[in-house]
Structure 1
Amino acid sequence: MPPESESWTIRHFSQANPVGPGQDSVPALLRRIADSIEQRPGIEPNGYLGTLDEVIVPLSRGTWLVSHFRNVNAVDHFFWLDDGVLRLHFEPLFPAQRDGSDPDGLVEVMRQVGFDLSEDDDADYTVHTEAAFALAEHLTGVRLTPEFLKSATYVCGTAPVPGRPAAVRESPPAG
């Protein structure tokens, strides 16, 4: 018997990023979105803008930002910024190798949430993704559960990749 299917409701809102001088700023777009949805995390499915310095550093000015990225190839990054300063960055698969202005400030919390900080060949890598989400929860107070994601209001939009020209869509040749 096939498993029962789930349905999710996505409430779609759009946020304009006007065209013109100074209007192509990804951090400005994301800040407008964040300001419009207080107390909600940003979720970027199938993207990596939340890992780019030119996006996350300006976005964190005047506040703090936590970003956890993981792709299908197990490329994984965790960032914690405070007022434009990178406090902590590491790859959750290799949590013993950290950088930032305070790379050891959360070592005890990292151990408590499940990271194996040893550099031994037999280090435990089985819960690194779960530990990254738990560390993000510790820093933000937001627990991303399936129920939270199902009931969330999503603000959807597109943003250009900084430094990359926007795609130009041309009509196919007639006939």
Structure 2
Amino acid sequence: MNMPTPNPADHAWLTGDDFSHWTTGFCVTLLPNKSPDWVEDILRTFLGAVPVLDTTQPYIAHIHAAGSGSIMFENGGFGGMMLEVIRRLSQDTKAVVVLRDFLGNAAFAYAMDGEIITRFDIYFPGDRLGRSPDALNDQLSAVGLLPAYEYVFDEDVDEEDVPERDLNAEVIRALAVATAVTGVRFDKSHLNAAPHAVSLAPLYGSDLARRFA
């Protein structure tokens, strides 16, 4: 698969004060060649999302134009990682979802034409599932997510001397891979309210929330 080399430096802004969502959690869905109108229509027509009437509604997804595609940003949600959501959004295109929840868990899913190509825990990318689990191995290797981190106990090394993993940096590397796959890049502007926004709350109360990509 011919893709550009991922560049984590493009997402260095996520380490600054402009991004406060490491504690609340976030979910970013990148969709090439699909407009915000199309994304909103899919979410409302087929998945039960509802219009946003005020900002106090739970589980709001902001849908932004991003070049020739779209980005869906959720503060504290995980709607993009629901299996039926990514299936619907990847019809006739591809979709990549990067999730980092408020508990610190992190996941990556890549789908095309309604089928999961590869998915994995960002902190343990050696264990990949999907139709073609190794589809992004070159990109994952380019950003240092492969070979996967493996802690090897050494009785001669004090545990306090073992370098601490920068888990946020690993999520940023995954976002760089997502950009390489889709050509759509997540930037600061996508943290703002968007003209296209829906509440995914009805999905969280349904069986859809029990099945993940």
> TM-score of the superposition, structure 1-length normalised?
0.67
Out of 155, 163, 168, the residue aligned to residue 196 of structure 2 is 155
Aligned pairs for 1:1-175 within 5 A:
25-26=46-47, 37=65, 39-118=69-148, 120-121=150-151, 125-126=165-166, 127-146=169-188, 148-149=189-190, 153-159=194-200, 160-161=202-203, 164=206
User: Equivalent residue of 1:69, what SS?
Assistant: strand
Deviations along 1:62-97, one digit per CA (max 9) or x if unpaired, are: 111111111121111111000011001001011111
Larger deviation, residues 88-97 vs 113-122: 113-122
User: Equivalent residue of 2:71, what SS?
Assistant: coil
* Shift in CA distance, 117/154, structure 1 to aligned 2, threshold 3 Å: farther
What CA distance in whole angstroms lies between the structure 2 residues aligned with 1:61 and 1:27? Answer: 17
What CA distance in whole angstroms lies between the structure 2 residues aligned with 1:124 and 1:107? Answer: 24
* Shift in CA distance, 84/124, structure 1 to aligned 2, threshold 3 Å: farther
Structure number with greater CO (CA < 8 Å, separation at least 6) is: 2
Q: Which amino acid aligns with 2:198?
A: G
**1:137 offset after TM fit, Å?**
0.9
> What is the percent sequence identity of the aligned residues?
24
**1:108 offset after TM fit, Å?**
1.6
What CA distance in whole angstroms lies between the structure 2 residues aligned with 1:82 and 1:92? Answer: 19
How much is the aligned-residue C-alpha RMSD, in angstroms?
A: 3.5
Deviations along 1:94-114, one digit per CA (max 9) or x if unpaired, are: 111111111112112101123
What CA distance in whole angstroms lies between the structure 1 residues aligned with 2:138 and 2:108? Answer: 16
* Shift in CA distance, 28/57, structure 1 to aligned 2, threshold 3 Å: farther
* Shift in CA distance, 150/56, structure 1 to aligned 2, threshold 3 Å: closer
What CA distance in whole angstroms lies between the structure 1 residues aligned with 2:74 and 2:182? Answer: 17
Unaligned runs of 5+ in 2: 1-16, 19-36, 51-61, 153-162, 208-213
Higher strand share: 2
User: Equivalent residue of 2:111, what SS?
Assistant: strand
User: Equivalent residue of 2:69, what SS?
Assistant: coil
Whether the 8 Å CA contact 1:64–1:82 is kept in 2: the answer is yes
> TM-score of the superposition, structure 2-length normalised?
0.56
What CA distance in whole angstroms lies between the structure 2 residues aligned with 1:124 and 1:145? Answer: 27
What CA distance in whole angstroms lies between the structure 2 residues aligned with 1:161 and 1:150? Answer: 22
Whether the 8 Å CA contact 1:116–1:124 is kept in 2: the answer is no
In our comparison, the structure showing a higher alpha carbon Rg is 1
What CA distance in whole angstroms lies between the structure 2 residues aligned with 1:69 and 1:26? Answer: 19
What CA distance in whole angstroms lies between the structure 1 residues aligned with 2:165 and 2:78? Answer: 23
Q: Which amino acid aligns with 1:51?
A: M
Q: Which amino acid aligns with 1:128?
A: E
* Shift in CA distance, 139/27, structure 1 to aligned 2, threshold 3 Å: farther
Whether the 8 Å CA contact 2:122–2:170 is kept in 1: the answer is yes
